[in-house]
């Protein structure tokens, strides 16, 4: 089969799985997972074929377009339904399909007792379709449709347990906050059309970035910011970050798939895809970098004190997304995508592992009621430890390479403030990840006495995906960043690592506008120093966490010191309370939108009910009354009408005569 059939199949298979499961899933009971998992599995296989073809240069420099049909042929407004695959898409396809497949497999075990089993798989398949459409879409409009579809799936899956009030509220919150960003994105797309007259992504970018002499009706910087607004919503950047932690109300596989590994990365993908637009608007890039690194710092500071295991991971996701945007903002697009891939796998792993922990201790998410789980659930423990080491940024795990690359690039691009904040965030990251491990797996058990004897390792169908995700979390960084043999020549690449080589054609245009020059990598120069700093801060964070929350690795044993933790947090009461209360953003939103906004709405309601309705009803009443009065003229007598006609005629003739005579 050729690529024209294979590429659409990647997205079509999950759609088929969704339709099938939505129609007959209810009757399949516990076998409802077979078709969806097979669909995603096949989709994965095809995606890998496509990815391999793309990365080995099978599509050439420009990538491969597959046109399906003319979607909207309306005069000057032409939109095609088409797919597009280049190396950036391929990089995303790897993460989306792989994590997607593993999450599907994991869900067979995790959701096995749920009455909504078939519904869950139907939604998951719909999500896979939407996400793949987002990545593969060739026009802004396709991407926007997919953008909304993933938002819908996110809503459906966060509120999967819709009888639980908190879940229903969280799903609504996610949906509404996302709408705020989407308005920006929609406006951005309209602005692109106004400026260029096309919605094809590459064509419009070419027009927007090449004709710099012609003044556009809408400045390119504004378009970049509008697109970034959409990315902020989906990727939960400050101030639209509030929905992501609440999204953890959904089932854990959903958190792993949508709210850690794929959907939240859509914003990063979007900005990376639109890189030449951002490159020609340096002010917008500074905004991106600033918001990104601020989100990273904010979220990391909150993650330090959270007690819900999933919330720690959620804030950590926020923080890492902030890193990615910081990288996008300084023009280190390769580093951002690298971090996206590394985080996709590592975060997916951590969330699935946390789900396994929650499963083991019978739906308890509070880390204060865990502890000492290492020996009882060894597979979960080991895989989660791998993920945490990666997150902390210890070489040679994937998380180290990607984070180091971001920090290094920001430094070399001259954004020293971004780099400095990034280093602080790196310490915090290492600290809170090992706080999580320490509280959950090490030390003495604080599990409920009733649950304690029933703790069990998850079934193999859940531990297998964990191990499969642990492999890329361990090796992906080496694989993608390693410049030399044997990997480079295998893909026909030499130089600065596989990923950089793959993505080079995607970013060439943007980098050209930006005027960046690839600096020679110098292990004994600035790069070496930066790497050492990265390792040093990661180690410092880990050691600090070990000191306070204990450690049990091999012979390395140390008890946690809860008293010292309390003493330390009592010393900075404001910071501690701010972190615990998430810097009061929910309260702020409540005040601004519910209290103040509610007052405004109440006034508007009053205005509507009294003034607007008063005018409308008044007009109605006047019309009715005058109609009643005028009805008397209608006597029903033929001669009255005839008289009217005669008088009218006389008036007409008389006025005509007057006009002629004068």
Partner 1 sequence: MGLANSLDAYLILAGVLFAIGTFGFLARRNAISMLMSIELMLNAVNLAIVAFGSFIPNLKADGSIIALMVMAVAAAEATVGLAIIIAIYRNRKTPLVDEYDAMRR
Residue 585 burial (CB < 10 Å; 0-12/13-18/19+)?
Answer: middle
List the one residue from 29, 517, 630, 635 that touches partner 1 (CB under 8 A).
635
Q: How far is the first Cα of the chain from the last one, in angstroms, to the nearest whole number?
A: 90
Query: Which residue in the block uniquely carries the two structure tokens 């971001």?
Result: 406
Q: How far apart are alpha carbons 346 and 337 in whole angstroms?
A: 14
List the one residue from 72, 609, 643, 654 that touches partner 1 (CB under 8 A).
643
Q: How far apart are alpha carbons 282 and 414 in whole angstroms?
A: 14
Q: How many CA atoms lie within 13 A of 263 on its CB side?
A: 31
Query: Which residue in the block uniquely carries the two structure tokens 């000492």?
Result: 372
CB of 628 to partner 1, least distance (A): 14
Q: Which two tokens stand for residue 525?
A: 């120069």
CB of 640 to partner 1, least distance (A): 9
Stretch that binds partner 1, among 105-113, 223-231, 572-580, 639-647 (CB under 8 A): 639-647
Task: Report the candidate in 179, 135, 102, 150 with the shortest Cα–Cα distance to residue 465.
Answer: 102
Stretch that binds partner 1, among 184-192, 322-330, 435-443, 629-637 (CB under 8 A): 629-637
Q: How far apart are alpha carbons 649 and 576 in whole angstroms?
A: 92
64-74 and 551-553 strand pairing: unpaired
CB of 598 to partner 1, least distance (A): 54
Stretch that binds partner 1, among 64-72, 236-244, 539-547, 630-638 (CB under 8 A): 630-638
Tell me whether residue 619 or residue 643 sits nearer to partner 1 (CB atom).
643
Q: How far apart are alpha carbons 274 and 374 in whole angstroms?
A: 45
CB of 635 to partner 1, least distance (A): 7
Tell me whether residue 536 or residue 650 sits nearer to partner 1 (CB atom).
650
Tell me whether residue 176 or residue 642 sits nearer to partner 1 (CB atom).
642
List the one residue from 165, 517, 520, 639 that touches partner 1 (CB under 8 A).
639
- Residue 131 burial (CB count, 10 A): 29
Three-state secondary-structure class, residue 424: helix
Stretch that binds partner 1, among 232-240, 267-275, 294-302, 635-643 (CB under 8 A): 635-643
Tell me whether residue 217 or residue 636 sits nearer to partner 1 (CB atom).
636
Q: Which two tokens stand for residue 585?
A: 């953003």
- Residue 382 burial (CB count, 10 A): 17
Query: Any contact of residue 638 with partner 1 (CB under 8 A)?
Result: yes
Can you say how many angstroms the Cα of residue 319 is from the centroid of all Cα atoms in its chain? Answer: 13
List the one residue from 634, 660, 661, 662 that touches partner 1 (CB under 8 A).
634
Query: Any contact of residue 653 with partner 1 (CB under 8 A)?
Result: no
List the one residue from 522, 536, 646, 653 that touches partner 1 (CB under 8 A).
646
Stretch that binds partner 1, among 136-144, 333-341, 456-464, 640-648 (CB under 8 A): 640-648
List the one residue from 629, 637, 658, 661 that touches partner 1 (CB under 8 A).
637
Tell me whether residue 555 or residue 636 sits nearer to partner 1 (CB atom).
636
Q: What is the DSSP string of 157-224?
A: HHTSSTTSHHHHHHHHHHHHHHHHHHHHHHHHHHHHHHHHS--BHHHHHHHHHH--SSPPSS-HHHHH
Binding mask 535-554 for partner 1 (x = CB under 8 A): --------------------
- Residue 287 burial (CB count, 10 A): 18
Stretch that binds partner 1, among 91-99, 240-248, 348-356, 631-639 (CB under 8 A): 631-639
3-state secondary structure 433-465: HHHHHHHHHCCCCCCCCCCHHHCCCCCHHHHHH
CB of 626 to partner 1, least distance (A): 19
Query: Any contact of residue 661 with partner 1 (CB under 8 A)?
Result: no
CB of 660 to partner 1, least distance (A): 17
CB of 647 to partner 1, least distance (A): 10
Query: Any contact of residue 642 with partner 1 (CB under 8 A)?
Result: yes
Tell me whether residue 639 or residue 662 sits nearer to partner 1 (CB atom).
639
Query: Any contact of residue 194 with partner 1 (CB under 8 A)?
Result: no
Binding site for partner 1 (CB under 8 A): 634-639, 642-643, 646
């Amino acid at each position: 089969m050729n690529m024209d059939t294979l590429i659409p199949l990647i997205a079509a298979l999950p759609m088929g799985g969704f339709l099938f499961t939505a129609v007959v899933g209810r009757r399949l009971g516990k076998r409802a997972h077979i078709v969806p998992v097979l669909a995603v599995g096949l989709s994965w296989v095809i995606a890998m074929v496509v990815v391999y073809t793309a990365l080995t240069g099978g599509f050439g420099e420009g990538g491969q377009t597959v046109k399906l049909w003319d979607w909207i042929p309306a005069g000057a407004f032409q939109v095609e339904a088409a797919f597009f695959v280049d190396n950036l898409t391929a990089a995303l396809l790897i993460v989306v399909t792989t994590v997607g497949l593993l999450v599907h497999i994991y869900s067979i075990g995790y959701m096995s007792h749920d009455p909504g089993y078939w519904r869950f798989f139907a939604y998951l398949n719909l999500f896979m379709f939407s996400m793949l459409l987002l990545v593969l879409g060739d026009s802004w409009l396709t991407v926007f449709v997919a953008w909304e579809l993933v938002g819908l799936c996110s809503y459906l899956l966060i509120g999967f347990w819709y009888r639980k009030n908190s879940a229903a509220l969280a799903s609504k919150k996610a949906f509404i906050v996302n709408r705020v960003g989407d308005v920006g994105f929609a406006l951005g797309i309209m602005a692109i059309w106004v400026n260029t007259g096309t919605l094809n992504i590459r064509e419009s970018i070419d027009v927007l970035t090449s004709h710099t002499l012609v003044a556009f009706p809408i400045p390119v910087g504004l378009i970049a910011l509008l697109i970034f607004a959409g990315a902020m919503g989906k990727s939960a950047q400050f101030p639209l970050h509030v929905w992501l932690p609440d999204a953890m109300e959904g089932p854990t596989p959903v958190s792993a798939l949508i709210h850690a590994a794929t959907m939240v990365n859509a914003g990063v993908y979007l900005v990376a895809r639109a890189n030449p637009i951002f490159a020609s608007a340096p002010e917008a890039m500074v905004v991106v970098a600033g918001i990104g690194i601020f989100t990273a710092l904010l979220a990391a500071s909150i993650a330090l004190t959270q007690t819900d295991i999933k919330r720690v991971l959620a804030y950590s996701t926020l923080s890492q997304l902030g890193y990615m945007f910081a990288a996008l903002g300084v023009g280190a697009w390769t580093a951002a995508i690298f971090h996206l891939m590394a985080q996709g796998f590592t975060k997916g792993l951590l969330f699935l592992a946390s789900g396994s922990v929650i499963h083991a201790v019978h739906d308890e998410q509070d880390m204060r009621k865990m502890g000492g789980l290492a020996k009882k659930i060894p597979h979960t423990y080991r895989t989660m430890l791998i993920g945490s080491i990666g997150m902390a940024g210890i070489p040679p795990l994937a998380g180290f390479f990607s984070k180091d690359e971001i920090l290094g690039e920001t430094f070399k691009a001259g954004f020293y403030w971004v780099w400095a904040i990034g280093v602080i965030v790196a310490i915090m990251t290492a600290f809170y990840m090992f706080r999580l491990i320490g509280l959950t797996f090490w030390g003495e058990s604080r599990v409920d006495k009733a649950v304690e004897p029933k703790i069990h390792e998850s079934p193999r169908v859940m531990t297998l995906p964990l191990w499969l995700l642990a492999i890329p979390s361990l090796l992906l960084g080496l694989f993608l960043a390693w410049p030399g043999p044997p990997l480079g020549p295998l893909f026909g690449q030499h130089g600065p690592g596989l990923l950089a080589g793959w993505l080079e054609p995607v970013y060439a245009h943007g980098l050209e506008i930006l005027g960046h020059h690839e600096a020679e990598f110098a292990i004994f120069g600035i790069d070496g120093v930066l790497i050492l700093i990265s390792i040093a801060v990661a180690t410092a964070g880990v050691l600090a966490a070990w000191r306070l929350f204990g450690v049990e690795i091999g012979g390395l044993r140390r008890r946690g010191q809860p008293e010292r933790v309390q003493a330390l947090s009592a010393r900075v009461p404001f910071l501690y309370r701010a972190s615990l209360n998430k810097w009061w953003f929910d309260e702020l939103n409540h005040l601004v939108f519910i209290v103040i906004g509610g007052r405004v709405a109440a006034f508007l309601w009053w205005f509507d009910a009294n003034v607007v309705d008063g005018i409308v009803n008044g007009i109605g009443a006047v019309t009715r009354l005058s109609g009643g009065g005028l009805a008397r003229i209608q006597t029903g007598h033929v001669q009255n009408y005839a008289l009217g006609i005669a008088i009218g005629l006389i008036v007409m003739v008389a006025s005509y005569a007057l006009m002629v005579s004068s």
